[in-house]
Amino acid sequence: MNLYRMLQARAAAGRPVTVGLIGAGKFGSMFLAAARRSTGLHIAGIADLALPRARAALARIGWPEAAYAAPDLDAAHRGGATLLTENAMALIADPRIEVIVECTGHPAAGIHHALAAIAHGKHVVMVNVEADVLAGPLLAARAEAAGTVYSMAYGDQPALVCEIVDTLRAEGFRVVAAGKGTKYLPHYHASTPATVWGHYGLSEEQARVGGMNPQMFNSFLDGTKSGIEMAAIANATGLAPPEDGLAFPPCGTQDLPRVFAGATGRVEVISSLERDGRPVAGDLRWGVYAVFEGETDYIRRCFAEYGVATDPSGRYAALWRPYHFIGLELGISVASAALRREPTGRSEAWRGDVAATAKRDLVPGEVLDGEGGGMVWGKCIPAERSLAVGALPIGLAHGVPLTRPVRAGGFVTYADVALDEASEAVRIRRAMEQAARPARAAE
């Protein structure tokens, strides 16, 4: 409740929270649009590998050129302007920058930047959910050991779900299910970048003019992004992924208590479409929810007295938020990390994973094209199952050659691919898996 007051105090003292942003794409641009209007925040530097694209993004969101004309970090800190650079490591190494916002969307890059930031004593706000699901519990543990904060990104759906779950639990309620809404039909799992625009009702020309990336949009449509976000929530809250993946039940807000009555603590994504394609009444396509239980007669009577919508038994109720503001809300994570030293959600333990699953029959010699591509989609499953079958995580399924055939619908496993075991992302992921084995053996 006091973040704004704390930011005001930092501004009044001439010590705004200093931020280095890595990746000026859509999410990063939304954050920058809000950050420029936020009291007590200073974006000291923006790192992006494509500076012309970054400049175009800054112009599009209304930043004047003078605002990002700092010639170096010294000038940025002295004058309050922003350095635009290709060198992310320079931002990470600068001792005057307090918070690194990792916004690249590239799993290996996210892990590399997070490890370096933690080593330099920086707080990390991990917008890059792909990296978080690949190795977030290990990164969070390293940050804690170093005395820094590793945080999910407020404004993105996983952090908002974590907030609702935490609030309900702090109030004494048992949360039985939580997640988000999306547009889903079963055949979307087979969608490819070549077919994606038809599902969105767009022509290829409309998408091109709009600057839309077909592989990125396809990762939302084919279920991969949903799987990634639910695995992140599972790792942060202890809620469990379904054994064989998300079910995507059609459900509107009024039906949440009924659909999840009797659930025992799971993550799930609800669909804004009935299975025949009709819109769901009261859909939650852009929002998040949690379903909780009134465990006593008195609490259930209070639900009735105060107009709380419940299932027919009166035992289960729901809280939801109809939409999220994405990067426009990210400053909450930055301020919370720097001023409260508290994350807005973080991976506490490895409970959920996202397994690369074949969209079609795959043959040896093909090279996987990763998240949102035409070959695999990411299915959210329990980490124990992923370990047991040796599933290849979706975050490592890009640019990797197949050595064995995989049938459509099957998991791609480590044994099916030629993986570069020396790469940093693979080594960190393997370390997290190895740490999980003794813990599970002891249970």
pLDDT digits (tens, 9 = 90+) for 343-394: 999 999 999 999 999 999 999 999 999 999 999 999 999 999 999 999 999 9
Flag whether 311 is in a domain: yes
Instruction: Identify whether residues 163 and 266 lie together within a single domain.
Output: yes
Is the pLDDT at 148 greater than 60? The verdict is: yes
Question: Encoding tokens for residue 276?
Answer: 């025949």
**Cα→Cα distances 406→7, 87, 364, 379, 415, Å:** 53, 40, 9, 15, 11
Is the pLDDT at 134 greater than 70? The verdict is: yes
pLDDT category at 62 given cuts 50, 70, 90 is: very high
Flag whether 216 is in a domain: no
Pairwise CA distance, residues 430 & 436, whole Å: 10
pLDDT value at residue 207: 80
Hey, which bits of 294-423 come out as E strands? Answer: 316-321, 352-358, 367-369, 376-382, 398-401
Last residue of a domain, one of 310, 340, 370: 340
Flag whether 398 is in a domain: yes
Mean pLDDT of the chain: 95
pLDDT category at 440 given cuts 50, 70, 90 is: low
Instruction: Identify whether residues 233 and 290 lie together within a single domain.
Output: yes
Instruction: Identify whether residues 178 and 306 lie together within a single domain.
Output: yes
Flag whether 211 is in a domain: no
Flag whether 201 is in a domain: no
Instruction: Identify whether residues 40 and 149 lie together within a single domain.
Output: yes
44 C-beta neighbours (distance < 10 Å), count: 24
Beta bridge partners, 425, equal: none
pLDDT value at residue 206: 85
Instruction: Identify whether residues 171 and 41 lie together within a single domain.
Output: no
| Enclosing domain of residue 19 | 3-153+329-340
pLDDT value at residue 387: 96
Instruction: Identify whether residues 169 and 313 lie together within a single domain.
Output: yes
pLDDT value at residue 211: 67
Of the chain, the percentage scoring pLDDT greater than 70 comes to 98
Flag whether 427 is in a domain: yes
pLDDT value at residue 442: 55
Instruction: Identify whether residues 372 and 306 lie together within a single domain.
Output: no
Instruction: Identify whether residues 365 and 336 lie together within a single domain.
Output: no
Name the DSSP class of 434: H
Flag whether 197 is in a domain: no
pLDDT value at residue 439: 60
Pairwise CA distance, residues 332 & 46, whole Å: 19
Instruction: Identify whether residues 15 and 119 lie together within a single domain.
Output: yes
Pairwise CA distance, residues 407 & 97, whole Å: 48
Flag whether 234 is in a domain: yes
The residue to which tokens 């939304």 are assigned: 30
Q: What is the mean pLDDT of residues 296-323?
A: 97
The 3 state secondary structure assigned to 11-65 is HHCCCCEEEEEECCCHHHHHHHHHHCCCCCEEEEEEECCCHHHHHHHHHHCCCCH
Instruction: Identify whether residues 336 and 406 lie together within a single domain.
Output: no
pLDDT category at 441 given cuts 50, 70, 90 is: low
Q: What is the mean pLDDT of residues 84-88?
A: 97
pLDDT value at residue 427: 97
159 C-beta neighbours (distance < 10 Å), count: 30
pLDDT value at residue 201: 87
What CATH number has the domain bearing residue 372? 3.90.1210.10
Instruction: Identify whether residues 395 and 309 lie together within a single domain.
Output: no
The string of pLDDT tens digits covering residues 254-284 is 999 999 999 999 999 999 999 999 999 999 9
pLDDT value at residue 212: 76
Of the chain, the percentage scoring pLDDT greater than 90 comes to 93
Whether the full predicted model's pTM is greater than 0.85, yes or no, is yes
In angstroms and rounded to an integer, the radius of gyration of the C-alpha atoms of the chain is 22
Q: In what order do the strands lie in the sheet with 150-152?
A: 83-85, 41-47, 17-22, 99-102, 123-126, 150-152
Instruction: Identify whether residues 28 and 99 lie together within a single domain.
Output: yes
The string of pLDDT tens digits covering residues 209-264 is 666 789 988 999 999 999 999 999 999 999 999 999 999 999 999 999 999 999 99
Name the DSSP class of 177: E
Buried b (16+ CB within 10 A) or exposed e, 217-249: bbbbbbbbbbbbbbbbbbbbbebbbbeebbebe
How many structural domains comprise the chain? 3
Would you report the helix, strand and coil content of the chain in percent, each value rounded to 5? 45, 20, 35
pLDDT value at residue 255: 97
What CATH number has the domain bearing residue 62? 3.40.50.720
| Nearest C-alpha neighbor of 213 from the set 183, 193, 233 | 193
